[in-house]
Amino acid sequence: MITATATPSVITRLNREWQARWAQHEYDFPHGRMTCEQTLQIVSRREENADAVLRGLLTSAAQDGPNDTVCARTALQIILPRVVSIAAQCARRQRVQHAGVYEEPLAVTVALALERIKNAPLHRRGSVLGNLAMDLLKLSLAYYNAADAEIPADTTDGAMFEPRTLNELARIDNEVSPTEAATQQVLALAAWARDREVLTEAETSLLVSYELANCQERKRLAATLGIESQALRLRVHRVRQSLRQAVQTHALQRTDLMPQMAA
């Protein structure tokens, strides 16, 4: 169960619906017949088949089948803790940028999560849950950045800026620029670190927000956290150090990543 004081109505509604309509009901999932709650626990506890179970849920959710709705709803409940974390981050950004105006980013993030669940690219390597969470973070930040962007209007024909639709954002995987390739590398590394519990949710969110931000956005991030820019840089440096050490340790444990010694 997820709780939050910032937006209790949305969280309470989702949790009540889960308990009343889904949790104890059995369905024929791709991994076998069981209750929705049992399926959630497999992934949440990171059991051996957790990745395969979530992949099956997302595959079924994307298809027009008898259980696509239940698979999508179960996947949403699985990722709900990350939805809350991402929404909280977006809420902090909104309060800084709009002088306290708060427009329920949790509801927006839930909608983005459901859409991504039904259109998740499953061809990529790495953790399915980690990739899904990082995709959602990327989409949420892009959504609010697009909404806040100051785009010069074309006065010759009265053209108006419209934020990119989610479908256009989803096509990003197939249209990779050098900048986007760097972004994907950051997100992939963050997903790896979070999936292996190298970094906490807060540390992952901080690292991604900082690495993908420009100078002004980093100043706003520091203001959001209530610290000076120098303190923010030091905090990010400590996170980078933890991540660097974890990557080095992982490389030393992987014989296939070690340089081959001459015979």
**Residue 34: enclosing H or E segment and its boundaries?**
strand 32-35
Contact 191, 146 (CB under 8 A): no
Rounded distance between C-alpha atoms, residue 241 and residue 244, angstroms: 5
DSSP H helix total and E strand total for the chain: 11, 2
Q: Show the low-confidence residues of the chain (pLDDT under 50).
A: 1-8, 96-103, 149-176, 255, 257-263
pLDDT of residue 246: 83
pLDDT of residue 254: 56
pLDDT of residue 153: 35
Rounded distance between C-alpha atoms, residue 259 and residue 46, angstroms: 32
Contact 3, 11 (CB under 8 A): yes
pLDDT of residue 56: 95
Cα torsion through 224, 225, 231, 232, rounded to 10? -70
Contact 135, 128 (CB under 8 A): no
Rounded distance between C-alpha atoms, residue 143 and residue 255, angstroms: 41
Percent of the chain past pLDDT 90, that is, above it, reads: 29
pLDDT of residue 176: 46
Rounded distance between C-alpha atoms, residue 127 and residue 90, angstroms: 24
pLDDT of residue 172: 40
Contact 26, 37 (CB under 8 A): no
Cα torsion through 232, 191, 115, 121, rounded to 10? 140
